[in-house]
Amino acid sequence: MRELGLSADESKLMRGFRYLTEKPVLVLLNVGERDVAREAELIEAVRSRYQHAATLVDALSAKIEMEIGELPGEEAAVFLADLGLAEPSQDRLIGLAYRLLGRITFFTSVSDELHAWPIADGSTALDGAAAIHSDLARGFIRAETVTYEDLIALGTLAEARRHGKLRSEGKTYRVRDGDVIEILFKV
């Protein structure tokens, strides 16, 4: 079903049947510690056999992941660096799953709390507002937007505004993965 290239209307008609061959596929290879250095080679060998649409192939070492999970933060970072790994496989796995499912995450900030909202990739600011609450979408005025990285670097939305990193966006703004958005709306 993934290979058929159905139109949006055809996909909508087929949605209720839930065909297994319609679902995206993530192939994960469990490699040993000695094979971590050959990960790319092993992935490519398997990927060549899985050329289907909506299919991703990656590798991880379950043993290493288990060991990382038992270590405190600083020790885990040193352990990863010693193995030549940029991030834990868990983080990479989450990113792959999001990519396969066509999802992104945007954030909202309330006081000192950051809330994550998953939405479909390609969603607008209005769609993001609706994901939070239908009232926000109905009364949408604009979205004040800053990247997560800029907000962390500058500390506050006020500082982001002062440095020109906070942008005002309209209903049709396409939300990007990692945006921090404050929805302004009328009641």
Q: What is the C-alpha separation between 185 and 89, in angstroms, rounded?
A: 39
Q: What is the C-alpha separation between 148 and 155, in angstroms, rounded?
A: 10
Give the pLDDT confidence score for residue 181 in this predicted structure. Answer: 95
In b/e form, how buried is each residue of 34-46, taking b as 16+ CB within 10 angstroms?
Answer: eebeebeeebeee
C-beta of residue 77 within 8 angstroms of C-beta of residue 3? no
In this structure, the number of other CB atoms found within 10 A of the CB of residue 103 comes to: 14
Give the pLDDT confidence score for residue 124 in this predicted structure. Answer: 97
Q: Where are the alpha helices (DSSP H) in the chain?
A: 8-14, 39-47, 62-69, 73-83, 89-101, 125-132, 134-138, 148-154, 157-162
Give the pLDDT confidence score for residue 97 in this predicted structure. Answer: 92
- Sorted by where each starts, the structural domains of the chain and their CATH numbers stand as 8-101 (3.40.50.300), 103-185 (3.10.20.30)
- What values do phi and psi take at 17, rounded to 5? -80, -25
Q: What is the C-alpha separation between 162 and 185, in angstroms, rounded?
A: 22
For residue 147 the two structure tokens come to 């990247």
Give the pLDDT confidence score for residue 134 in this predicted structure. Answer: 94
Give the pLDDT confidence score for residue 9 in this predicted structure. Answer: 92
How far is CA 41 from its chain centroid? 25
- Residue that the structure tokens 């926000």 belong to: 136
Give the pLDDT confidence score for residue 21 in this predicted structure. Answer: 86
| Residues with pLDDT less than 50, the chain | none
**Beta strands at 113-120 and 140-147: parallel, antiparallel or unpaired:** unpaired
- What values do phi and psi take at 31, rounded to 5? -105, 150
In this structure, the number of other CB atoms found within 10 A of the CB of residue 128 comes to: 25
